[in-house]
Amino acid sequence: QVQLVESGGGVVQPGRSLRLSCAASGFTFSSYAMHWVRQAPGKGLEWVALISYDGRNTYYGDSVKGRFTVSRDDSKNVLFLQMNSLRAEDSAVYYCARDFFRYSGSGTYPDYWGQGTLVTVSS
């Protein structure tokens, strides 16, 4: 069955960096685009980033563009989110999610989700 397990969250000071990972199993990872979505405590969902199935295309939300980088290692079935210049408003649970359709270059519907990893940005 499809499994997505996020890791790498924790407490980090403003201005510092953090890298999140998402370990995928139960499907052909290299065939699917992948999303990152976050949710601040008590708030709604915010779409963060997408990487195409082949890694050629990446897309970002306006609030993270230029600071966050999404990447993937298909040899290890792992998705990454490199977060730089972190701000207090980046504090959230970060979810990775698989795209619905295979071989999507620009992303469609996130269907399978991990349970999330909590990032807290605080001094």
Partner 1 sequence: IQLTQSPSFLSASVGDRVTITCRASQAISSYLAWFQQKPGKAPNLLIYAVSTLQNGAPSRFRGSGSGTEFTLTISSLQPEDFATYYCLQLKSSPFTFGPGTKVDI
Which of 12/114 has CB closer to partner 1?
114
Whose structure tokens read 């000071």? 13
Q: Where are the beta strands (DSSP E) in the chain?
A: 3-7, 10-12, 18-25, 32-39, 45-51, 58-60, 68-73, 78-83, 92-102, 110-113, 117-121
- Residue 112 CB, nearest approach to partner 1 (Å): 8
Q: Which of residues 63-102 bind partner 1 (CB under 8 A)?
A: 95, 100
- Write out the two tokens for 47: 């779409």
Q: Which one of 14-22, 71-79, 84-92, 111-119 is the stretch in contact with partner 1 (CB under 8 A)?
A: 111-119
Question: Residues interacting with partner 1, by CB under 8 A?
Answer: 37, 44-47, 50, 59-62, 95, 100, 106-111, 113-116
